[in-house]
Amino acid sequence: MKYFVANLEMIDPEKNQTYRAEHLAFLKKGLEEGKVFACGPFQDGSGGMVIYQANSLEDAEQYAKQDPYIVEKVRRLQLKEWGMTQQL
């Protein structure tokens, strides 16, 4: 299993509140299914970050694009593979 970091840059703050509950439900389901490793908002209001677990970038991207924030163009998705290391 690999890790992929999604930067979810804010596009539309007004729509952010409209789709917040659906976005949080999506993340909760992903956590329960083992597809989301960690997630949270940036404290400056510019968006948030999700760390996905998947076999490939394509799998992570396919799942991440189902997030209501991405579907409804509330936030912009930038996804990269992350080489997580254990504590050094």
Query: What's the pLDDT score for residue 88?
Result: 55
Structural domain of 74:
2-82
Number of structural domains, the chain?
A: 1
Query: What's the pLDDT score for residue 87?
Result: 56
Residue 11's pLDDT band, with cuts at 50, 70 and 90, is very high
CATH of the domain at 67: 3.30.70.1060
User: CA-to-CA distance for 37 and 17, rounded, in angstroms?
Assistant: 23
- pLDDT, one tens digit per residue, over 31-72 is 999 999 999 999 999 999 999 999 999 999 999 999 999 999
Residue 87 domain-assigned (yes or no): no
Identify which of 51, 39, 56, 38 has the alpha carbon closest to the alpha carbon of residue 2.
Answer: 56
Query: What's the pLDDT score for residue 84?
Result: 79
* CB 73 within 8 Å of CB 12: yes
Residue 39 domain-assigned (yes or no): yes
Residue 37 domain-assigned (yes or no): yes
Query: What's the pLDDT score for residue 8?
Result: 98
Residue 52 domain-assigned (yes or no): yes
Complete edge-to-edge strand list for the sheet that includes strand 2-10: 36-41, 47-54, 2-10, 75-82
